[in-house]
Structure 1
Amino acid sequence: MRHTSATPGPCLQPAPALSGHLPVLVSGAPDIGTQVLAERLRDAVGSGSPSFHVGEHPPHWLARMSDSGPQPRVLLVVDAQRGIDTEAHRFGLLASQLGIRRLLLAVTGMERMDWREDVFARLRHQYRAYAERLGIEQLTAIPLSLKGDDNIVEPSGRLSWYQGPTLLAQVQAEAKLPSGERPEAADAPSQVSDQFAAHLLWLDDQPLYPGRVYRLRLNDREVDARVSEIKHLLQVDTLERMAAKRLRRDDLAFCNLALDQALPFNAAGECPATGTFRLYERTQDTLVACGLIAFGLRRATNLHRHAMKVDKASRAAANAQKPCVLWFTGLSGAGKSTVADRVEQRLQAAGKRTMLLDGDNVRHGLNRDLGFTDEDRVENIRRVGEVSKLMVEAGLITLASFISPFRSERRMVRELLEDGEFLEIFVDAPLEVCEARDPKGLYKKARAGALPNFTGIDSPYEPPQAPDLRLPAGELDADTLAGQVIDLLRRRGML
């Protein structure tokens, strides 16, 4: 993982754009001629005139926005027959969050609607009403057709009711105006924080769960980050705010994020280059979200780590052992708690200092407020991971017995600790063996539909791909398996 530090500096905005140099961002669904329209405008203006960039998908759109220098004009393309759809709303919403206050609306396909004025007027009215709710101060709508050249470069003879400019003329007129969108931000210094509130557009097929760690890229810097809270989900078409515990593909939400290192930034509406970021899945480098920073959260600026005279090393020396976490993972009924208990008994008999954290026991206290949804499972393991780290700081050999179904959260706990302090032990018993045992009657309830979100039945379990130790729990007894764990500790020099 690459971490960088930085000194905050000003977010320098370019001088007002000169005629012929303003970027125009063309946005719209790919199947309604967005690319074709942009190419016709490019051909018409030639060199030295406004540059046109197509952003058919939000990540590309935001990347163009942050790289464009002067704040661009946004040209939104909609189809007269299809009407105003969610994508059109989403582009307008993102534009407003980036401080855009003027929009161009190109209504294509007018020939399929018999050049009717009422169709155009209705679409213009619909989007203007939506734009006003977003704080868009000016919306210029132009009817046109890609079948010929109606109102793109030359005025159309089939739109006698329309007396406004062609699309090219309006774009060129816009290029002669200073951007004027963010004058107060011209010399604003960047903020620095390890927490901020942001608008997050989720792009992955797998849901976002608060607490899960991702990799955040902001400008040229990269740190680990997690969504600490979903404040609300925003329904794009109605702008209604709704509660949510997870995000699904194409969801747009207002969230709090926590970073493992403070970064300099600006609000996205002031400086897109230092206010827009991307989130990536940490192992496969897959883009999962793009975001726009709203403001920093100054919640921990007065907190400092206190240097203690008695540290982990001295506690470990006093206990004559190397502290570590033995993380037992596997399906319900695999025998995790039984094996962990046998291991702890042997360690205690050898005079070692231990602590056993068990999934059921922890849910009676620390995590009694959590259920068994996927998002609650993520938070459950996050909390237990932090407690395990404290136990290791106390110099203890810590045994943690949890289903912990997701690789991401097990990896997160490993990364909380120093190298060699986390030992992942896969208590491997096939589902049919665990279900046959069913010591608590949970599988029976799950099969009957009385226990939703049960791991292995209707909630996934991701087995370790390279555990420190695999225990064949479907083949050997608990005492034999416990002996294998003790042997592992000896080989690793923990005892």
Structure 2
Amino acid sequence: MDLLRFITCGSVDDGKSTLIGRLLHDCAALSDDQLAALGAEPDFAHLLDGLSDEREQGITIDVAWRYFGTGRRRFIIGDTPGHEQYTRNMVTGASVAEAAVLLVDVRKGVLPQTRRHAAILALLGVRALVLAVNKMDLVGFDRARFEAVAGDFAEVAARLGLPAPVAVPLSGLTGANVVIRSNNMGWHDGPTLIEALEAIPAQDDLGAERPFRLPVQGVLRDGENRRAIGTVAAGRIAVGDRVVVQPGGFASAVAGLWIGEQPVAVAEAGRAVALSLAGDVDCGRGAVIASAGDPPPVADRFEANLVWMGDEPLLPGRGYWLQLGSQSVTAFVQRPKYELGIETGEKLAAKTLGPNAIGVAELSTDRPLVFEPYADSRALGGLILVDKESHATVACGMINFALRRTANLHWQELSVDREARARIKGQHPRVVWLTGLSGAGKSTIANLLEKKLHAAGRHSFLLDGDNVRHGLNRDLGFTDADRVENIRRVGEVARLMTDAGLIVITAFISPFRAEREMVRDLLEPGEFLEVFVDAPIEEAERRDPKGLYAKARAGELANFTGIDSPYEAPDRPDVHIDTTAVSAEAAAERIARLLLEPHED
């Protein structure tokens, strides 16, 4: 018998856990001790509400998975949360499900969270949908009420591009039309819930007719022999078949196949395999071995649907870790094209995405990714974004397509390179990045430092925060998103200046660690010198050279660092200057000595 993995979802209190408990009970899928624990008046919801917090609150928080079977099929069922704040858990469940049972309380009809879950199911490509119109016993098994709810949801499904749902009137509490057909709803000539689940066609999108795809999880080495290991994501492969390794497009042939330690001639989708290639082909974790005749594309710019799962909003321009299968890169998310209005399905203008929001945005990566559109392949089209500081998963995404305009852009080979430019200046390019609160003394130290470098015959350039905002960044404000973009632009300019062989001095508050690390990553190792110009906020406020703290305290200046916007001090700066103990002159002299020291090539 084939296996169907499905989830239940819907608005809170629509009865998901109770329905699943009833389904397991009526399919004889409960053990004797579980039956005994239910007692004479069973509360089926507690079969799945395993977390203590769930029992206390009477809600589902985590995704609870259960296995059961009938005479016709095996099932893995997941009970997902209904509360909006646990949307991320629902997304986790839907991302690995083939089908969904979406519950609606017949008394309440289609609610905003019903539409939210339907939108997520559409984005995640769930291929079959059963609409369970629950609690029919509470409306006297009224056919008109059922048909009104089913009709309303059919319109929602059609607008979202979901598969046409199979609507089932039922009662999870009494068991009516769950497994046993109810005499109270003789007017319903469709399937019961279990019949609807048994009738969903077996998954065939990973069949042998699709091109072969093997995302490489790792490499086993035995002397000179190397075997790429992973799970076949699509298609089939046989010893002797021609393949290519992406990225790179390296051609080869399959020299050997193993499942476990057993040599095999053929492997199909869903099997964990080890595979050896003919010849000396570079193939490590993150690569994809694919059919030679139809390899997956490679790109570094995409449009993707995003479900934002972070507690803090998306910061466009910030670098996040992007994980796609076994590939890991840094990705930068642009300002969203739009946010999806859950209530109406409209495309709403958006500058960012807040917790549990769904939108569409462009992403760029620091290295090319092997991908396929999510509609064609979950394995090569589904991604997550991870915050570099907290290591929390902040979004899941579904790639729609690559932005092909990048195919027309190529690096121009230049006869004079950065090494030649630095050599003629007799210096090593560096970026001296002064960070700290407003009033800490960054600009004063930066100005003195440049004077010392100039006197020593060094070629330098000073980028000051206020000066840059008069020109390059005059269009940016002081929101968190604008601060991120401010530093991204300055970082790119500083990198270009190091290509010219210059020593670049910057004086920016640059409040976020992630953006300072982003600039460090743009440069060659050893070229970024982070200088923490440290002054307690009380001291910086006492100096208040521009009167900004006073304005912020008076509510006349919003998003001011240290007052109503955070400052993330460096954990391990290359240079730490305590301006309450060291003069600006001494600080500049200390940094200058570091820059003027002989440099070993």
- Picking from 144, 147, 157, the partner of 1:121 is 147
Larger deviation, residues 118-127 vs 262-271: 118-127
Aligned pairs for 1:18-417 within 5 A: 20-28=2-10, 32-38=14-20, 40-41=22-23, 44=27, 45-46=69-70, 49-54=73-78, 56=80, 67=96, 72-100=98-126, 102-175=128-201, 186=210, 190-417=296-523
Moved more, 126-135 or 372-381: 126-135
Alignment partners' CA distance in 1, 2:200 and 2:423: 72
Cα deviation digits, residues 390-443 of structure 1 (max 9, x gap): 111111111000011111101100111122111111111111222222211222
* Segment drifting more, 227-236 vs 94-103: 94-103
Counterpart of 1:14 in structure 2 is none
Contact 2:94 2:121 in 1 (8 A): no
- Could you tell which deviates more after superposition, 477-486 or 206-215? 477-486
Q: Does 1:431 align with 2:537?
A: yes
Mapped contact 2:558–2:564 kept (Cα < 8 A)? yes
Taking the aligned partners of 2:354 and 2:15, their CA distance within structure 1 comes to: 28
Q: 2 CA distance for matches of 1:63 and 1:477?
A: 54
Distance 1:60 1:169 in 2: 27
Distance 1:323 1:382 in 2: 19
- Distance change (3 Å), C-alpha of 1:52 and 1:84: farther
What's the offset of the Cα at 1:484?
2.3
1:111 counterpart SS class: helix
Q: When you count strand as a share of all residues, which structure comes out higher?
A: 2
CA contact (8 A) 2:463 2:504 kept: yes
Output the CA distance in 2 between the equivalents of 1:35 and 1:423: 55
Higher mean C-alpha deviation, range 282-291 or range 161-170: 161-170
Q: Which residue number in structure 1 is paired with residue 582 of structure 2? A: 476
1:282-312 Cα shifts (integer Å, max 9, x gaps):
2443111001111111121132223333222
Counterpart amino acid of residue 273 in structure 1: A
Secondary structure class of the residue paired with 1:217: strand
8 Å CA contact 1:102–1:139 kept in 2: the answer is: yes
- Is the contact made by 1:26 and 1:52 (CA closer than 8 Å) also made in structure 2? no
Query: Are residues 173 and 469 of structure 1, via their aligned partners in 2, closer, same or farther at CA, if it must alter by over 3 Å?
Result: same
Tell me the distance in 2 between the aligned counterparts of 1:494 and 1:112. 81
Shift of 1:278: 0.8
Contact 1:98 1:270 in 2 (8 A): no
Gap regions ≥5 residues in structure 1: 1-18
User: Is contact 1:230–1:244 with CA below 8 Å preserved after alignment?
Assistant: yes
Higher mean displacement: 59-68 or 145-154: 59-68
Question: Does the 8 Å contact 1:101/1:181 carry over to 2?
Answer: no
Change (3 A) 1:46 1:275: same
Query: Which one-letter code corresponds to 2:303 in the other structure?
Result: A
Distance 2:205 2:599 in 1: 63
- Taking the aligned partners of 1:134 and 1:269, their CA distance within structure 2 comes to 14
Structure 2 unaligned regions, length at least 5: 28-68, 82-86, 212-293
Aligned CA RMSD, in angstroms, stands at: 2.7
Percent identity, please: 43
| Shift, 1:47, TM fit | 6.7
- Work out the number of aligned pairs and report it: 471
Q: Match for 1:464: what amino acid?
A: P
Q: CA 1:267 to 1:63, structure 2 compared with 1: closer, same or farther past 3 Å?
A: farther
Q: Give the drift of 1:134.
A: 1.3
Give distance in 2, aligned partners of 1:150 and 1:347: 83
CA deviations on 1:322-343 (whole Å, 9 max, x unpaired) are 2111101111111110110001
Shift of 1:470: 1.3
Local SS of the residue matching 2:313: coil
The alpha-carbon distance between structure 1 residues 55 and 400, as it changes in their structure 2 partners (threshold 3 A), is: farther
Q: Is the 8 A contact 1:99 1:182 kept in 2?
A: no
Distance 2:133 2:24 in 1: 18
> In the superposition, relative to structure 1, how do residues 405 and 344 fare at CA in structure 2: closer, same or farther (>3 Å)?
same
Whole-Å Cα distance in 2 between the matches of residues 181 and 410 of structure 1?
44
* TM-score between the two structures when normalised by the length of structure 2: 0.73
* AA of the residue aligned to 2:579: A
Q: Given residue 7 of structure 2, which amino acid in structure 1 is its aligned partner? A: L
AA aligned to 1:131 is A
C-alpha distance in structure 1 between counterparts of 2:309 and 2:465, whole Å? 32
Provide the secondary structure at the position in 2 that maps to 1:300: helix
- Contact 1:428 1:470 (8 Å CA) reproduced: yes
Structure 1 pair 47–489 and aligned structure 2 pair: CA distance change class (3 A): farther
Q: What is the aligned partner in structure 1 of residue 565 from structure 2?
A: 459
CA drift at 1:213:
0.6
When normalised by structure 1's length, the TM-score is: 0.87
RCO higher in structure (CA 8 A, sep ≥6): 1
**Matched residue type, 1:420:** G
2-structure distance, mates of 1:98, 1:31: 24
**Which residue of 2 is the match for residue 7 of structure 1?**
none
